[in-house]
Amino acid sequence: MAFQKDFLWGAATAAYQIEGAWNEGGRGLSVWDEFCHRPGNVFDGHTGDTACDHYHRFREDVQLMKQLGIQAYRFSISWPRILPDGTGKVNEAGLRFYEELADELLQNGITPYATLYHWEYPYALHRRGGWLNPESPAWFAEYTRVVAKRLGGKIKHFFTLNEPQCFIGLGYDTGEHAPGLHCSRKDTLQMAHNVLLAHGRAVQVLREVISDVQIGYAPTGSSFYPATESAEDIAAARQATFDVPQRWTFSVSWWSDPVLLGCYPEQGVKVMGENMPQIGTDDLKLISQPLDFYGQNIYNSVPVKADGKGGYKCVPRPAGFPRTAIDWPVTPESLYWVPKFLYERYKTPIVITENGMSCHDAVSLDGKVHDPNRIDFIHRYLRQLRCCVEDGTDVRAYFHWSLMDNFEWARGYDERFGLIYVDFATQKRTPKDSFYDYRKIIAENGENL
């Protein structure tokens, strides 16, 4: 069987990872600019200063998207490119860039899906307390209004936030990502609450300004699948997926229950205790604005079994278990069980907003990029997603990560996730074998995986 006829096939990127032009066109500084320019933060001292130079080459890149055959393109808008200081003065050149990108996509039959926030926090607002400042939801709402008013006639599909688990958990807890801080649990929990308030404010603004808008949210999180298909192990995997562990920052339920159920998970509230954030009377009502779809970035999961005591235990992977170049395990089961569990709990249509793998790609002597591991990965994962759909889970779209090789945050240019190979010295683009294979999958609507 194939996916449903209106299933949407796409690819994804993020602004800082591909645009470059970090100090051009009136763009302000982001926390990632400051983080990358501090020695020792990013692999080999790499920065996103130039990245894939998409800011200057977006028309060429859209033609590659058209050749690929994607029906939708998920990209992010750089907040400091729109509002250099985070609030106040609007940068016309930044708005014009995204307007021209949207025009180019639409002229080539590709639906734009814009993410409002993919980690580019304005440095000027960071210096005013960033997400810990109680005004931060209002700042995000102001930015959203500027975007909606200018681009809402062309862009009808928006995601508010991408992976708050990462930009809070890695940015303010472990310090691996920008801005590279190690904050207390109490402060990070308050930041998380402000982030969710910002999401709610953005949804309100988008609906107020754009009458026919479609809105989603794109978190990630630690996820699990049953080691066997026994009822006990399935229940254990479901429990594990929505558990709130002590390392709460990568919890699925902590970040999604308030958005989709209007409450924090009871078990998590007990874990947090006196560190719980200050929650206003109408906060959860604001956070839980209705959504049209629920995105999830899914790369891998952990197998678990029931422990016989009403809980679960993780199952060790055997020696030689397959892994990607970034050392992530290859677990195709993720695209069956995780969407299934999410849809059961939240009863909202699912969009796979990111899925893909890093490979040790290189241009071969024949001038081509042969990436059989990625082709195998895509087929294995999409077979599982197709089974998930056939078994009744309402999955509407799949966005492959990533359209092209790019700046992979703290790993710099050391990882290649793209369907298109980028020579970062020359900016030459070379479609990989997986590019042509994914094109065939799209043309066949996944029927012959």
Binding site residue list for substrate:
17, 118, 162, 299, 401, 408-409
In the block, which residue shows the tokens 């250099």?
84
Q: Is 430:418 a contact under the CB 8 Å cutoff?
A: no
Beta strand 111-117 with 72-76: parallel, antiparallel or unpaired? Answer: parallel
Which residues are designated catalytic?
Answer: 163, 354
Cα–Cα distance, 423 to 92 (Å, whole number):
31
CB under 8 Å to 436, separation ≥6 — which residues? Answer: none
Cα–Cα distance, 224 to 423 (Å, whole number):
36
CB under 8 Å to 175, separation ≥6 — which residues? Answer: 181, 182
